Amino acid sequence: MEKKFKNLLYLMLILSATLTLTGISYKAGVYGQSTSPVNNATQQHASHILDNLIISQHIPLTGQLAKGDYILLMDFTPFATSVQGHSHIAMKVPCNKDGTPKTTIVTGIAPNLKSLDVGKAINNGTLNGKSLDLSNEGTSCLYHAELPTGITDIALVNTSNDTLNFDLGGYSVTVTVHGSAMQHLAANMTG
């Protein structure tokens, strides 16, 4: 009986330490970002578990953005997107009457950035089985795109000829990133 009690106590101590370490690493994230370590199934070494990152962040857009100016949405250096098809961006932004966005998303490793094709405005949705228009061309439109692998920086650029006012319309961007520490990505690419 005493041996069972010691084993139970030992198990409780391990569980408590694990939860404490997980809580500490979770709270170590940058303000406004939710970070957590991920145990990647392809990971070979237990010591590399904390070299993985998952971020899912909703970013409300407020204020004004002058023509040609940009908002840096995320910089998650020393991590970079690493899992093909697992990093996405969705945004509700001002759009033209033809449904093209008045903004552009640029991604890469600063200062080397490229425009991201966010596709066409998403119009048809459903809510409780009823049709729901998700874009209002000429005012605001919804877009969704996959982020490329190997990037660390994401910015929103005003590509219109006007200053954009984000305070009128509930505009926002949501970014979900699966990443790995860049030194491990480079090692995997070369070895």
Residue 75 has a pLDDT of 94
pLDDT over threshold 80, residue 144: yes
* Nearest Cα residue to 143 out of 116, 166, 164, 167: 116
pLDDT over threshold 90, residue 153: yes
Whether the Cβ atoms of residue 174 and residue 91 lie closer than 8 Å to each other = yes
Domain holding 134, by residue range, is 34-190
Q: What is the CATH number of the domain that holds 67?
A: 2.60.120
H or E segment and range at residue 184 = helix 182-190
Q: Tens digits of per-residue pLDDT, 18-51? A: 333 333 333 333 333 333 444 444 444 444 455 7
Q: Assess whether 6 and 87 both reside in one domain.
A: no
Q: Assess whether 41 and 23 both reside in one domain.
A: no
Q: How many Cβ atoms are within 10 Å of 48's Cβ, its own excluded?
A: 15
Q: Assess whether 115 and 174 both reside in one domain.
A: yes
Q: Assess whether 83 and 149 both reside in one domain.
A: yes
Q: Tens digits of per-residue pLDDT, 89-130? A: 999 999 999 999 999 999 999 999 999 999 999 998 889 999
Q: How many domains does the chain have?
A: 2
Residue 86 has a pLDDT of 87
Q: Assess whether 4 and 60 both reside in one domain.
A: no
- Confidence label for 54 from pLDDT (cuts 50, 70 and 90): confident
Q: Assess whether 178 and 145 both reside in one domain.
A: yes
Q: Assess whether 19 and 60 both reside in one domain.
A: no
Instruction: Quote the pTM value.
Output: 0.69
Q: Assess whether 108 and 131 both reside in one domain.
A: yes
Residue 85 has a pLDDT of 81
